[in-house]
Structure formats: C-alpha cells, structure tokens
A and B are shown apart, each in its own frame.
Chain A
C-alpha cells in the first residue's frame, strides 16, 4: 500500500527516554475509513506512539504521514489542524460546564466578544445527529454518565474537524451496555468517513469492532493483521510473548494456616460503578499468591480494601482468623500488614525527609524506631543502615533526603523497610519496578526466604517473570473480578493472556 492511500502512516518511529527505549522502529499503517486497533500490555509503548501521533511528543526518529503528506507536529494544535483528534483515557472535561461549553472551549463561535451559543448549539446538534449521538448541548457535564461524557469528548474532536480519531483505552471505564453503545457510535462514524484508531488491551472487544489489529510488544511492532484472520488466543499469545519465563520451583513452603481471607468483597465507586465484584481469595502462611492482570482492572481497589483506605460495601476481610473489615488502617498495619506501594512517590515516601525518617513510615510506633512517646533516632538510623546494607541501597548516608536517591534505590529502601519490620502479611505491588536485574534477583531471594519462614505474600505485578517465578498460586483479575486461579508451573502464555484480556473467564460474573 502506498503512503498516498493511507489515512495515517507511521514509519520507523523511535522514541527514547532516559534509560529506556519506548518505541523502537515502530510502523503503523491505517487505511481510511477503517477501525484500526493497537493492542499491547502496559509498558509496551502504545501510549507513547499515540502521543507522538497526536503531537504531544516528538519522535527521535521516523516519519508521520497524514493522507500521504509528511507532517511534523510541534504540539497538539498542529495535529488538530491536520485532522487528528484524540480522546484521552482520562477525560478532560470541565464538570461545571455544559456540553456545549466544553465542546467549543478554545474554538468558540463568537459575535465580537460575545459567545454565539445559539450557533454552537446548532452545530453540535447537527454533528450529534449525523453521528447518531444523543446529547443535549445544555446538559451539565457533571450530570452525565461515563458513556455520555465520552461522547462529549468525541464530539469535541469532531467539532474541530477531525477525520482521524484516536481513542485511548475507551472501554476501560465503561460497563457492557455502554461498550455496545460506543461501538454503535463508532460504526456510524466510520460510515461517515471517519477513521478510528483504537488502543486497547481487551481483545474480545477489539476483535468485535476492529478491521485491523496491530500488536505492539516491548516497543516494537509484532504484527499487523486483519481482525478477521486471527482469533483472540493467538493475539493474546502475541501480546504476552511466545515464551514465558520458567519458574524456579523449590520445595513448597505453603502451610495449612490461613493468613488472609477475602470473602465476597465488593467495592463501589461514587458513581455507582462496581470496582470489585464479589472477590474471594485466600493467602496462607508460607505462600505467595500472585495477581496477574492489566493495570486498572481492580488491583488498586483490592489493595485499598485490604489496607482499609477505602470502605467495602459487602463481604468480609479476615486476617489471622480475625475480621478486620471494621478496623482502621493503623490497626491493620499494627496487626502486621506490610505494604510495598505501587506508586512509591505518592504512597510510600516522604521525599523531603531523610532516609531514616522514611524507614520509619508505617512502623514508627514500634521498636526500634520509637520508645514510648519519643523517637529513637539512633535506633532508627541503625535499622536504616541495616536496610541499606542488606538491600544494597546506594546512598552516601542515611541522612540524605529521599528525593536524592534514584528511583531504584528508593524502591529498595521501601522493600527493605517493609520486610525488616517482620510482617505477617505482605502486600507487594510491583515490588521490583525500576530496579536493576541484580537487585531484583536479590529481592526475590529475600521474598523466598521470608516465605519459607512463614510470611504470607500477596504479589501484584505486571512482570510475568516475577509472577511466575515467585507465586505458588496465580490469580487473574479482570474488570474487578477474579476470573481464574492458575498453577504457575503449568500456565501457558495463551491461557494467561486470554484471562488477562477477558477472552476467557473461568468464573463468569453473575
């Protein structure tokens, strides 16, 4: 296919960030009037690619063609001028504004300084009718449901004359009926000549709507095929990688003693959406339970529920035989729940404070960090030095402020802090994210040793090597529910990928 016939073509796109190559010689060719899906796991590089296409980032190498013409985008304004519109995963809407106000913002029809709202409303109604959207221009966005808000975002770009629509994980926040509605909208759009690029990790949905699918893994294009010629299992395999790392199995240290039990817990968002649906699981002492799943499918809510940061509306949480659902976060941590947070800056560190004060966070009410009312600075520093030595944290001293450390060393400090506090249950969310291979192996070893001494671990990770290498039991979470319980020794990439992307469901939701 020559460049002249493609609505959008990306050739040889390469983008580097400090220490990582996000896109490596990526190619993408989108035919006019088609729905083209781009699939891949988190970190695969698809978001970076779309940001480049939308002008939010500039590529280090490669070319962009729109309708056959070479383009260079310095900002989203250039991309919009070229007819490309992006609907972000996290909506950019002013809640207190009407639909019309949100759509026209920045490109308002005016009579002098005065807004020509009548003309705006008319144009919006026209657009909405053409594309089959059912929106009231005078409605306050605050009052709209998620599906309608998404339609406002889509209208926003159509209003500016976009002919190519990029949708970033559009179904992430939708319930099934809303997904169906969205796909109907997309079909009408395509009938009217709009081209749609659709980023997603949900393969069953992708296959039901897309014409072509491009798979991206580890920053490169794996393949680009017509949707009709491939099935979900094959796609899953391509996404995840043909070879899965083989787990190192030692002797099982799993005991019969149940440390943590979740019984049918339910968590609901303020707008009524179900975030966790009847989740049940157990973690025994001496066991590492791994949770696999694409980020955003309920992992954060699960952690918040166990820690007591957010309330549950149904079910129970039992720790060491005691129901803790009514206890405060402090009480739960006091009972021995350790936590390696998924976002170390936001949830795990006091960046402006010295290392030894960070090593106390969450444990400051215990020895050796404090004695009664007083902080035992000497004891704290000593323990911190221990952590630094054991976990190989690269720092000149324990008085250095946390922000001065590299991310990897910050992570090592956090892991060390949690593990040396002798927890009963350890929740580890992406524990080796951002850590070099050597340190990663060391931390895995520490986890194994702790497990053999009876620690119960709930491991949430996107690193399959980590999950398969450490877990005794592997659960897959998708859309707020546990959809499978697998044996890490026997799972194949195809099976794992299928569950992670909703293609298969061992425990269908009621």
Chain B
C-alpha cells in the first residue's frame, strides 16, 4: 500500500524535476539566473494572499480536471471541455441576469443551467460516438470551434448586455447581488490568518470539494462507477460480463459535460465583473486535461496538480517585476505534462514486466498448451 503510494508519487516528482531542469535551460537562454527566478517565485508564492490566489486559481482547474478524468477513467477523451464550459458560462450568465430570485435559488438556477448546457454540448459527440462510431476526440474538438462561434454570436446578439462602469467591454448583463457566491474570508480569519484587502477566498471552493467527493464516491463506490472503470480496464471482458458499453459511454460523457459546465462558475459568481465578457478566462479546458494527467485521474492527485498549476501561475506574476519573462511557467507546465505522461508509461511497463515474471513461475503440466504454440 505504501509502496503503491510511493510509486504513484515518483512519476510526477520526476516530471517536476525534469520541468525545472528544462525550464532552467530556457531561462539561461534569456540570460536569467534560474536560481533567482525560482527563489523569487517561491517567496512571493508563499505569502498569505498568494496562497489564497493559488487556491482560487486552482478551483476551476480542479473542476475541469475532474470532468476530463471522468472520461479518462473509461478510456474516453473529452477534449471538448473547453467549449463546454464557455458556452455553459455565457448561457448561464446571460439567462441568469434575466432572472430575479432570492439568493441561494438564484445561484442554484444558474448552476443548473450551466450543467444542462454543458451536457447538451457533449450530447452530439456522444450520440455520434454511439451510433456512428465517430471518435470523440475529433467530434469534441469540432464542437469547441462551434461553441466559440456561437458564444461570439450570443454576445453580440440575444445575450448582449449593457456596458457601463466596471463592464466596459462586450459581455452579458451584470449579475445582481443575489447571484453572487459568498466568499470564505470569515472562515479563513477563524484560523487566524490575516487577509489583505481585496484578497478573497472563493466560496466556490466548497462546490469544488463537494464535486471531488462526489467524483470519488461515484467512481469508486457505485455500481455505475465500477462499470465505468471496468470498461476502461478491459472493454472486452466487461462486455462479456454483460455491461452495456453504449449506455455507459453516454452516461459518462454526459456527466463529464455536466461537470465541465461548472468550470466557469467560480469566476462568474465569485468575482467582479460578474458577467461573461470577452475577457472571460480561457484555456481552463486544455489546462484541465494537463492537470488530470498529472493527477492520474485521482481526486486527491488532481487537487495537488491543480494547486501546483495555480501556484505556478500566481508566483510567476512576480517575475515581471524582476524583468524575467513570466511565460516560462507555460513552458514548465507543458514539459511537466509530457514528462509525466512518459514517466507513468514507464512505471506501467515496469509493473507489467513484474507481472510477466510472476506468471512464468507458475507450474504448468507438460503437454498442456504452452505460452506460445
């Protein structure tokens, strides 16, 4: 058990070391001292309001990674998370601004809309996959492009909102206070941590944690989760065992799309300007894939991965002040992804070799069919 945990950590640890090494090369290329860069990142990143910012940044990444991981567990690639969260965000922001409900209900309604839109957006690739055997990678990538176009159209058309005050760029109407998600500053202060003005811990953290728990329960403790994982392990044996692969594929993709819909909600409901506009954060979808890979589809691993990426994003802000290109962080993230994937593959092969050795030790009667004949 401990051995398994150790092995699970080795690969990402190696990946991070490799990323630091390669990034150091890039920094040297720019005439920058890697030591200086990393140390200033660390000291900035560990300040209290930086940590809060790290957590805030980690929340959408975490949710995104959960959505992707649901698919990965079954061998499905939902690359469409990017498009799903954006269109869910614009629709829920636009429609949500037109509703007037008391606080919790308003928030709840917006969340429900987001989930439903996310599901609808993955429905077409899912159906194409089941009925025509179209690979979901291409289908979801195509749906991404379609979502960008439709989002742009919605912003200039039916869901266009007023621009004024803090919202000068094109976007949906600003959400009223009843739709704002409260922050957790009071909880943080209970622990004796002092927060600087303007630094708020996103309340959506609770939803993220709940989603993580839900993911764990669903995937590891329910019958459906069992069928999902079994299909990912061995689709043939699972079919023989009577699992209906089409139904499982559909349900998994819908769940993945639904969760994806929530990715943008932390930002939408938690921070100014409380609307979907052209400055709405992008790339959560693709980064989420990276985090899921890093965390090996495990809810705790993903949490660490999300925090790591969030930390890197936040701590790199300081680099600007030192005239160090902060984009080095993107390279680090890219290298981490590639190396962690290679590392996991090596670990898997190592395990397989062990297994084959174990099998060859089995006693077999002469004359009974040999391993290869």
Contacts and interface: CB of A to CB of B under 8 A. Distances in A.
Are any A and B Cβ atoms less than 8 Å apart in their complex? yes
Interface of A: 17-22, 42-45, 47-48, 218-219, 307, 309, 328-334, 339, 341, 346-353, 357, 360-362, 364-365, 370, 373-375, 377, 399, 403-409, 433-434, 436-437, 462-463
A375 B236 CA distance: 22
Contacts of B352: 403
A375 B244 contact: no
Interface string B198-240: 0000000000000000000000111111110110011011111
Interface of B: 1, 220-227, 229-230, 233-234, 236-244, 351-352, 354-355, 358-373
Contacts of A436: 363, 365
B226 A349 contact: no
A436 B361 CA distance: 12
A407 B359 contact: yes
A42 B372 CA distance: 11
Given A18-B361, A350-B238, 17 more contacts: A17-B371, A20-B364, A20-B367, A22-B370, A43-B367, A43-B373, A331-B242, A333-B241, A346-B237, A347-B237, A352-B233, A360-B226, A361-B238, A362-B240, A375-B223, A375-B226, A408-B363
B366 A218 contact: yes
Nearest to A15: B370
B46 to A, nearest CB: 38
Contacts of B369: 42-43, 433, 462
Nearest to B362: A406
B372 A17 contact: yes
Residue of A22, A334, A377 contacting most chain B CB atoms (<10 Å): A22
Max chain B C-beta neighbours (<10 A), residue from A19, A331, A349, A408: A19
Contacts of A42: 369, 373
Contacts of A349: 234, 237
15 contacts: A18-B361, A19-B364, A20-B364, A43-B370, A44-B367, A328-B242, A349-B237, A350-B234, A357-B230, A364-B227, A365-B223, A399-B1, A408-B362, A408-B363, A433-B368
Given A328-B244, A350-B237, A48 B362 contact: no
B368 to A, nearest CB: 6
**Which of A20, A328, A333, A347 has the most C-beta atoms of chain B within 10 angstroms of its own C-beta?**
A20
Given A42-B369, A43-B368, A347 B223 contact: no
B241 A362 contact: yes
A196 B164 CA distance: 89
A330 B239 CA distance: 9
B368 A329 contact: no
A151 to B, nearest CB: 27
Contact of B358 (A45, A346, A404): A404
Given A19-B360, A328-B244, A351-B355, A48 B222 contact: no
A365 to B, nearest CB: 6
B348 to A, nearest CB: 9
B249 to A, nearest CB: 15
Given A329-B240, A330-B244, A407 B373 contact: no
Contacts of B234: 346, 349-351
Contact of A437 (B243, B244, B362, B365): B365
Nearest to A403: B355
Contacts of A350: 230, 233-234, 237-238
Nearest to A360: B226
Contacts of B373: 22, 42-43, 45, 47-48
A428 B4 CA distance: 35
Contacts of B365: 20, 436-437
A433 B352 CA distance: 22
Given A329-B242, A341-B240, A403-B351, A434 B372 contact: no
B242 A333 contact: yes
B370 A17 contact: yes
